[in-house]
Amino acid sequence: DTGVSQDPRHKITKRGQNVTFRCDPISEHNRLYWYRQTLGQGPEFLTYFQNEAQLEKSRLLSDRFSAERPKGSFSTLEIQRTEQGDSAMYLCASSPPIGGTEAFFGQGTRLTVV
């Protein structure tokens, strides 16, 4: 499968624990996005990478959230000290270099904080 891959698909964690999600974009896609989606809402932008550089972070991304893309390939999103309000679907998308703007989404990681 050469699509965007996310791991894990589901995560249940206790409040206060740290969680980390991984996203592997489509090969040669240099742009990578993280979005969060809650029930009844469209995806909300969290952060954006071009290669390894994190170019933008949403105000939604509190200090408990951090994202990395160390070698410009896969990316990780970490949430520290999870809260129940963090329960959501976390979507990763990638798009090719300038000239292509379609973003292709992974299957998402559904986080449930209990």
Partner 1 sequence: EDKVVQSPLSLVVHEGDTVTLNCSYEVTNFRSLLWYKQEKKAPTFLFMLTSSGIEKKSGRLSSILDKKELFSILNITATQTGDSAIYLCAGYITGANSKLTFGKGITLSVRP
* CA distance from start to end of the chain: 33
Closest to partner 1 by CB, 80 vs 104, is 104
Residue ranges in contact with partner 1 by CB under 8 A: 4, 31, 33, 35, 40-45, 48, 50, 55-56, 91, 93, 101-108
Q: How far is the CB of 108 from partner 1 (least distance, A)?
A: 5
Closest to partner 1 by CB, 14 vs 42, is 42
The structure tokens listed for 105 are 């989404």
Q: How far is the CB of 91 from partner 1 (least distance, A)?
A: 6
Q: How far is the CB of 4 from partner 1 (least distance, A)?
A: 8
Instruction: Give every strand in the sheet of 75-79, ordered side by side.
Output: 5-7, 19-24, 75-79, 65-68
Beta strands in the chain (DSSP E): 5-7, 10-13, 19-24, 31-37, 44-50, 53-57, 65-68, 75-79, 88-95, 104-105, 109-113
Closest to partner 1 by CB, 14 vs 59, is 59
Q: How far is the CB of 56 from partner 1 (least distance, A)?
A: 4
